[in-house]
C-alpha cells in the first residue's frame, strides 16, 4: 500500500481511522534471558553477556523522548482496545543489545534509546518506524505468544502492521530499511544465532506488510458497502477481518451492519436511529438464521422474525466490543439503539445513559451528541410527544438536485473495469451458508484508489461487481460542481440536495446519495474529508 500518510515526531496526532491498519515489523526469536534481564521477545540479541536492561536509568533519557515514545505506545494500546488483559507499560533503557523486547513477566515493553534515535532518522516517517517496532512487541503480548518459532514472528509482523494502521501509522515500505539500519547501527552480522538471516527477515517483513495492507483494504471497503446497503458483502468483509484481528471497532461496525440490515426487513417507525460506525477497521454465524414453518407461511411474520434475530445478533456483537473495552462509547450507544428497535425502551435508555459519560470523558463529541439525541427521543416517546425527525429550517432546495456525472482523476468507471491491472488482489473467502466467494482488487492512482469487489455466487449466475473509487488525503482535484477536500460541509446540500442517508462516524459522517452513486465523507469541524463514487454491476451488463 502506498505510503500516503507521514508523521514526524513533532507532528504526532491522535489517529483517525480504526480499525485502521498498518504494516509490519520484523521477525524475532525468544531466547533465554541473561542474568538480570527478562526480555522475552527481543528484536535482536547482540551480546547476552553484556546485556542489561538496567544500564542507564530512565532519568538519563530526555523527557521529550519518553513523552513521544509513550504517546505512540498509548495510541497503539488504545487502538487494540482490549481491556481483558492488563494494560502493558513502556520503559526506555540505555542498554544496547536488544533494540526492543516484550517482558511478559512484568508486562512491559522495553525500548532502547539507541533504537529510538535510529527511528528519528526516518524524518517524516519517524513515528511510523517507532510504531512498527512497538506494535510488533505488543502483538506478542496480546496474542499470548510463547516464543515457539517463526510463525509467531510472522504473526507479530502481520498483526502488528494492522495494529499500527489502526492507530493511524503507516509503516508500509519502512521495515526493510528499518531492519537494515538496526543491523548496521548495532554492528551485527547478517546471520545471528537463533534468528533467520537478514535477507529472510526482510522478505518475511514484506510478506507480513502485504497481509496487513490486504486487511486494511477489506475493512475500508466494508464501510462503504454498509453505506450503500450492501449488507451481505459488508458482512463477508467484516468476517474476513475478524478471523485475523479482533478489536472493539470491528465488532462495533459488524453490529451496525446487522442493525441496518434488520431495518430493511421491517420498516421502522419514522424516527432517528443514531447508529455510529467507527472508521478507525460480519462475524460468520455458526449457522444460518432458522425460520419456523409457521413464520415462513406469513411473509410479514418472517420479515419480523428475521429482523429480531438480526438485532439480537447485533447486540451480541456490541457486547463483544464492550467486553474488550467496557467504556467504548460507540458500542454502548449502538446497543441502546438496537434495544430500542426491539421494543425494550428501558434497556435502551440505560445503555444510552451508559454511553453518555464515557463519550464526554473521552471528548467523543459526536457520540455524546448522538446519545443525547436518543435519550431525548426515548423520553419523547415515553411522554407521547412527537418524535423529531428532521430539524426545521434546513434550507434545502424544494426541487431535486441536478444530476452530475462525477469522475475522480478523469476516470470513467464504466470503462475502467474491463482489463483493470490491479496493484493488489485480496481473496475474501467463502461464505458457507450461501456458497459465495469474493475477491477485492485495488488499483492506486496519484490521489485516489479504485476498489473492485467481484463476487461469484450460486444465486447470482456469473457473479457481480461493486466498483468504489475513493479520493485519498492528497487528492487535489474537485467534484463536477467544484467542491474540494477541506471545503465546508454546508456547500454540499445546496448543490446535491438532502442525502438519502447519513451514517455517523466517530469522527465525522458519511452522506450517501444512492441514486447518484456518490458518498461524501466529512471530518470534525464540518469539513469535507473526501468522497467516493460507487458503481454496482451484474456480470451480464458487462458482457
Co-location of 361 and 262 in the same domain: yes
8 A C-beta contact, residue 285 and residue 232? no
- Do 61 and 208 lie in one domain? The reply is yes
In a domain, 467, yes or no: yes
* Percent of the residues in the chain that have a pLDDT greater than 70, as a whole number: 72
- The pLDDT tens digits for 408-456 are 999 988 766 566 788 888 888 655 444 557 888 899 999 999 999 987 6
pTM passes above 0.85: no
Confidence band of 363 (pLDDT split at 50, 70, 90): low
Indicate whether 395 belongs to any domain.
no
Output the nine-digit C-alpha cell for 310: 438480526
End-to-end Cα spacing for the chain: 31
- Secondary structure class of 112 (helix, strand, coil): strand
- Report pLDDT digits (tens) over 300-344: 777 888 888 899 999 999 998 888 788 888 899 999 999 999 999
Q: How confident is the model at residue 521 (pLDDT cuts 50, 70, 90)?
A: very high
Residue 482 has pLDDT above 90, yes or no: yes
- Residue 5 pLDDT greater than 70, yes or no: no
Instruction: Kindly state whether residues 362 and 479 are assigned to the same domain.
Output: no
The answer to whether residues 425 and 462 belong to one domain is yes
Position 536 confidence tier, pLDDT thresholds 50, 70, 90: confident
How many C-beta neighbours within 10 Å does residue 533 have? 22
As a whole number of angstroms, the distance between CA 29 and CA 53 comes to 18
Domain count along the chain: 3
Same domain membership, residue 418 and residue 365: no
- Asked if the structure places residue 3 within a domain, the reply is no
Taking the C-alpha atoms of residue 503 and residue 223, their distance in angstroms, rounded to an integer, is: 10
Is 408 part of a structural domain of the chain?
Answer: no
Within a domain: 131:
yes
Q: Are residues 440 and 472 in the same domain?
A: yes
Q: For residue 232, tell me if it sits in a domain.
A: no
DSSP 8-state class, residue 350: H
Q: Do 49 and 159 fall within a single domain?
A: yes
Residue range of the domain that includes 528: 413-542
Q: What angle do CA 188, 119, 169 make, to 5 degrees?
A: 125
Model confidence at 400: pLDDT above 60: no
What does the alpha-carbon distance between residue 98 and residue 108 come to, in Å, rounded to a whole number?
14
In this structure, are 199 and 51 located in the same domain? yes
Residues 208 and 288 in one domain: no
Count each helix (H run) and each strand (E run) in the chain, helices first: 16, 14
Q: Is residue 142 part of a domain?
A: yes
Write the CB contacts of 233 (distance below 8 Å, at least 6 apart in sequence). Answer: 225, 438, 453, 455, 466
CB count in 10 Å sphere of residue 504: 23
Phi/psi class of residue 240: alpha, beta or left (left: φ > 0; alpha: ψ in -120 to 50)? alpha
Under the banding of pLDDT at 50, 70 and 90, the label for residue 386 is: low
Helices (H), 266-298: 293-297
Give the pLDDT confidence score for residue 419 in this predicted structure. Answer: 64
Other Cβ atoms within 10 Å of 352 Cβ, number: 26
Residue 293 pairs in a beta bridge with none
Distance between CA 514 and CA 492 in Å, rounded?
15
Query: What is the H or E stretch that residue 532 is in?
Result: strand 527-538
Strand pairing report for 501-505 and 276-277: parallel
Any residues with CB less than 8 A from the CB of 374 and at least 6 apart, and which? 272, 274, 333, 336, 337, 340, 348, 352
pLDDT digits (tens, 9 = 90+) for 34-48: 333 444 456 665 554
Please indicate, yes or no, if residue 2 is contained in any of the structural domains: no
Pair 465, 506 in one domain:
yes
DSSP 93: E
Whether residues 484 and 516 fall in one domain:
yes
Q: Tell me, what's the pLDDT at 34?
A: 36
Beta-strand (E) ranges in 366-500? 424-431, 436-444, 448-457, 460-471
pLDDT at 219: 87
Closest by Cα among 166, 72, 78 to 362: 78
Residue 249 has pLDDT above 60, yes or no: yes
Can you tell me which residue has the cell 472493539?
A: 248
| Mean pLDDT to the nearest integer, 345-360 | 89
The CATH number covering residue 311 comes to 1.25.40
Domain shared by 376 and 453, yes or no: no
Q: What is the pLDDT of residues 117-173, one digit of tens each?
A: 999 999 999 999 999 999 989 988 988 876 656 667 777 777 888 788 778 788 877
71-80, 94-103, 191-200 — which is least confidently predicted?
191-200
Using the Cα atoms of residue 43, residue 47, residue 52 and residue 57 in order, give the sign of their dihedral: negative
Amino acid at each position: 500500500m502506498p505510503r500516503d500518510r507521514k508523521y514526524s515526531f513533532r507532528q504526532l496526532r491522535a489517529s483517525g481511522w480504526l480499525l485502521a491498519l498498518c504494516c509490519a515489523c520484523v521477525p524475532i526469536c525468544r531466547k533465554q534471558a541473561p542474568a538480570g534481564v527478562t526480555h522475552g521477545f527481543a528484536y535482536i540479541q547482540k551480546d547476552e553477556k553484556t546485556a542489561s536492561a538496567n544500564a542507564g536509568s530512565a532519568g538519563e533519557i530526555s523527557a521529550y523522548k519518553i513523552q513521544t515514545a509513550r504517546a505512540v505506545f498509548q495510541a497503539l494500546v488504545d487502538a487494540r482496545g482490549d481491556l481483558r488483559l492488563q494494560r502493558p507499560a513502556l520503559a526506555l533503557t540505555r542498554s544496547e543489545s536488544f533494540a526492543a523486547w516484550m517482558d511478559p513477566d512484568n508486562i512491559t515493553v522495553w525500548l532502547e534509546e539507541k533504537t529510538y534515535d535510529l527511528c528519528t532518522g526516518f524524518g517524516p516517517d519517524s513515528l511510523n518506524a517507532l510504531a512498527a517496532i512497538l506494535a510488533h512487541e505488543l502483538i506478542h503480548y496480546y496474542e499470548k505468544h510463547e516464543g515457539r518459532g517463526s510463525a509467531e514472528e510472522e504473526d507479530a509482523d502481520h498483526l502488528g502492521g494492522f495494529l499500527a494502521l489502526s492507530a493511524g501509522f503507516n509503516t508500509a515500505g519502512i521495515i526493510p530499511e528499518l531492519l537494515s539500519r538496526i543491523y548496521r547501527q548495532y554492528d551485527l552480522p547478517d546471520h545471528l544465532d537463533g534468528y533467520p538471516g537478514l535477507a529472510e527477515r526482510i522478505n518475511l517483513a514484506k510478506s507480513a506488510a502485504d497481509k496487513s495492507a490486504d486487511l486494511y483494504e477489506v475493512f475500508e471497503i466494508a464501510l462503504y458497502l454498509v453505506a450503500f446497503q450492501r449488507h451481505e458483502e459488508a458482512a463477508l468483509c467484516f468476517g474476513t477481518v475478524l478471523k485475523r484481528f479482533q478489536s472493539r471497532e470491528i465488532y462495533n461496525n459488524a453490529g451496525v451492519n446487522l442493525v441496518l440490515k434488520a431495518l430493511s426487513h421491517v420498516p421502522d417507525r419514522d424516527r432517528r436511529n443514531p447508529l455510529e460506525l467507527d472508521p478507525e477497521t460480519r462475524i460468520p454465524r455458526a449457522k444460518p438464521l432458522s425460520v419456523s414453518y409457521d413464520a415462513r407461511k406469513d411473509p410479514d411474520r418472517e420479515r419480523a422474525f428475521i429482523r429480531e434475530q438480526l438485532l439480537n445478533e447485533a447486540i451480541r456483537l456490541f457486547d463483544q466490543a464492550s467486553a474488550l473495552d467496557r467504556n467504548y462509547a460507540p458500542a454502548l450507544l449502538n446497543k441502546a439503539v438496537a434495544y430500542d428497535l426491539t421494543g425494550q425502551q428501558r434497556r435502551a435508555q440505560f445503555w444510552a445513559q451508559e454511553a453518555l459519560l464515557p463519550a464526554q470523558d473521552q471528548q467523543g463529541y459526536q457520540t455524546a451528541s448522538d446519545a443525547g439525541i436518543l435519550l431525548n427521543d426515548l423520553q419523547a416517546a415515553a411522554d407521547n410527544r412527537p418524535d423529531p425527525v428532521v430539524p426545521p429550517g434546513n434550507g434545502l432546495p424544494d426541487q431535486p438536485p441536478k444530476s452530475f456525472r462525477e469522475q475522480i482523476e478523469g476516470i470513467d468507471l464504466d470503462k475502467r473495469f474491463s482489463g483493470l491491472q490491479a496493484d493488489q488482489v485480496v481473496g475474501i473467502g467463502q461464505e458457507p451458508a450461501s456458497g459465495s466467494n469474493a475477491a477485492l482488487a485495488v488499483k492506486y492512482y496519484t490521489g485516489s484508489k479504485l476498489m473492485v469487489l467481484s463476487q461469484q455466487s450460486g444465486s447470482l449466475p456469473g457473479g457481480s461487481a461493486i466498483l468504489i473509487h475513493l479520493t485519498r488525503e492528497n487528492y487535489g482535484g474537485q467534484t463536477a460542481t467544484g467542491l474540494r477536500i477541506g471545503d465546508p460541509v454546508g456547500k454540499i446540500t445546496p448543490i446535491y440536495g438532502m442525502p438519502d442517508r447519513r451514517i455517523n462516524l466517530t469522527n465525522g459522517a458519511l452522506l450517501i446519495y444512492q441514486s447518484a452513486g456518490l458518498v461524501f465523507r466529512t471530518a470534525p469541524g464540518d469539513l469535507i474529508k473526501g468522497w467516493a463514487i460507487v458503481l454496482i454491476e451484474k456480470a451480464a451488463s458487462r458482457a
